[in-house]
Amino acid sequence: MPHTVVFLDRDSLKAKLRRPSFEHMFIEHAKTAPEQVVDRLRNATVAIVNKVQLREPALAQLPNLKMIAVAATGYDCVDVAACRERGIAVANIRNYAVHTVPEHAFSLILALRRNLIAYRRDVEAGVWQKSDQFCFLDHPIGDLHGSTLGIVGEGAIGQGAATIARGFGMKVLFADHAPPRAEGVTFTPFDEVLEQSDVLSLHCPLTAATRNLIGLPEMRRMKRNALLINTSRGGLVDEQALIQALDEGLIAGAGFDVLTTEPPRNGHPLLDVRRPNFILTPHVAWASQEAMQFLADQLVDNIEAWAAGRPQHLVT
């Protein structure tokens, strides 16, 4: 019997997507509102989602659904426990953003450490043009060489960030955490990482244990000249606490690519932060052309492997 494969938010993936090799019907929707999920998946055996929420109330109405292919590494959009109870396989993407996310993180780090936003604003305002010297040094500039990068999350992306950091001559500390832990990694107690890092970069999933992992108490432990970088998941950082920390000078700056609510709507607190030591980008760290194509290819690989009885990259 042919499978019915339904992609609920195709516009979230800007890459070519080959069709699975087995007999099937393939249906794409550019985007899907919460109230459309059940109707669109009613006949589906395989669902593809990126950020569309699949929770127990919807899953309970989808007896034909056998597999969910998540078009991302993070799978917090899926009720994994409910899928486990119903025998629905859930597969995610592995090791696809090992270059693009670390590169984006370091773009934020370099822009903040060298005060590029502030200097660019000054040039646009004509400050350099009025200077009586060949340069002006109104904003502090710091080197990465010799500084310490603290990393929360020692997966492929965290390891990618560590590789770049070492190339800059930085010392790297991986924060210790509850099991499971990657093998072959030397861990440093979390509080020591907070206290010793000149840059703290988050590369861990959003779970019940990591939600608001970085709040005001944690930022009070950090160096006053430290940077906080989040290219992982919104919700890892208490966003109101971040604003307070920036206002009080508890940290030197922050670079974020993710927010708790995406897309942000009017009134999101971080949209109103207008200061050169805070950079917000619209969840694009993962989105190099090369990474998106790798993701698209592995997405179909995951579906084909499941259909052939050899599932891979399962999270349930």
pLDDT tens digits for 188-231?
999 999 999 999 999 998 888 999 999 999 999 999 999 999 99
Mean pLDDT of 115-127: 94
Mean pLDDT of 170-174: 98
CA distances from 149 to 105, 218, 254 (A): 12, 16, 14
Mean pLDDT of 249-267: 92
Counting Cβ atoms within 10 Å, is residue 171 exposed (0-12), middle (13-18) or buried (19+)? Answer: middle
- Given a cut of 90, whether residue 265 has pLDDT beyond it is no
Going from N- to C-terminal start, the domains of the chain cover 3-96+290-307, 100-280
Do 7 and 51 contact (CB within 8 A), yes or no? no
Do 277 and 246 contact (CB within 8 A), yes or no? yes
pLDDT at 35 (0 to 100): 97
% of the chain with per-residue pLDDT over 70: 100
Quickly state the pLDDT bin for 310 (edges 50, 70, 90): very high
- Furthest CA-CA distance within the chain: 78
pLDDT at 133 (0 to 100): 87
pTM: 0.85
pLDDT at 209 (0 to 100): 92
pLDDT at 120 (0 to 100): 95
pLDDT at 258 (0 to 100): 96
Mean pLDDT of 66-86: 95
- Given a cut of 90, whether residue 95 has pLDDT beyond it is no
How far is residue 51's CA from residue 1's CA, in Å, rounded to a whole number? 29
pLDDT at 309 (0 to 100): 96
For domain 3-96+290-307, give the fold: Rossmann fold (3.40.50)
Mean pLDDT of 288-294: 95
Quickly state the pLDDT bin for 123 (edges 50, 70, 90): very high
Average pLDDT, the chain: 95
In degrees and rounded to multiples of 5, residue 151 shows phi and psi of: -120, 130
Cα-Cα-Cα-Cα dihedral of 283, 103, 76, 230, to 10°?
-70
The CATH homologous superfamily of the domain defined by 100-280? NAD(P)-binding Rossmann-like Domain (3.40.50.720)
Quickly state the pLDDT bin for 136 (edges 50, 70, 90): confident
Considering only CA atoms, give the Rg of the chain.
Answer: 22
- Given a cut of 90, whether residue 268 has pLDDT beyond it is no
pLDDT at 38 (0 to 100): 98
Q: Is it true that 3-96+290-307 and 100-280 share their CATH fold?
A: yes
How far is residue 90's CA from residue 70's CA, in Å, rounded to a whole number? 7
pLDDT at 189 (0 to 100): 98
Mean pLDDT of 270-296: 94
- Residues annotated as catalytic are 233, 262, 283
- Given a cut of 80, whether residue 316 has pLDDT beyond it is no
Mean pLDDT of 146-170: 97
